[in-house]
Amino acid sequence: MKKYLFKNSYGEDMDSGEVIKEIASYMKQRPNYRYKVIIGTDSEMISGNDADFVTAIVVHRVGNGGRYFWRRIRGEKFFTMRDRIIHEVVISLEIAQGVLKNLQEALQGARWDFEIHADVGDNGPTNILIQEVTGMIRANDFEPKTKPESFAASSVADRYC
């Protein structure tokens, strides 16, 4: 995984290697629980055609809380909502590929579910993008979730947009 700078829920900086170690440590604390590792990206237009993108990595200990990490990319130019949403998914896929590979190495033999959350849903202007976005995610062998189930993008990442 490329070296990215993330923040934990307390706002402390962590590089991507530290994030992987933290997730692995968290999952090893209670190995009998079921876990989901989730990646989601949200964006917001900030001025003119510039957009901020926030990506969240969530590790959910199903039925017993979780942890999250996030990062921001500032000021990329986008002229259409479709291009911006597609870029959100591309960012999530890039991060997911690195996270999955590194977690598999760190947690050999452990099992967890892995999902990509897209900030699109049946209600609103993004509904025309659902098939395209979920197709992109499935083509990369990941499980897609859309609104209202896409909380990593629509709640966690959105919180920092």
Over the chain (161 residues), the average pLDDT of each successive run of 10 is: 82 95 96 96 90 96 96 87 96 95 89 95 95 98 97 94 85
Q: In this structure, are residues 69 and 14 in contact, taking their beta carbons and an 8 Å threshold?
A: yes
Decide the pairing of beta strands 13-15 and 5-8.
Answer: antiparallel
Locate the domains of the chain by residue range. Answer: 5-159
Helix, strand, coil percent content, the chain, rounded in steps of 5: 40, 30, 30
The pLDDT assigned to 108 comes to 84
**Contact in structure between 82 and 133 (CB atoms under 8 Å):** no
Q: How far apart are CA 37 and CA 28, in angstroms?
A: 14
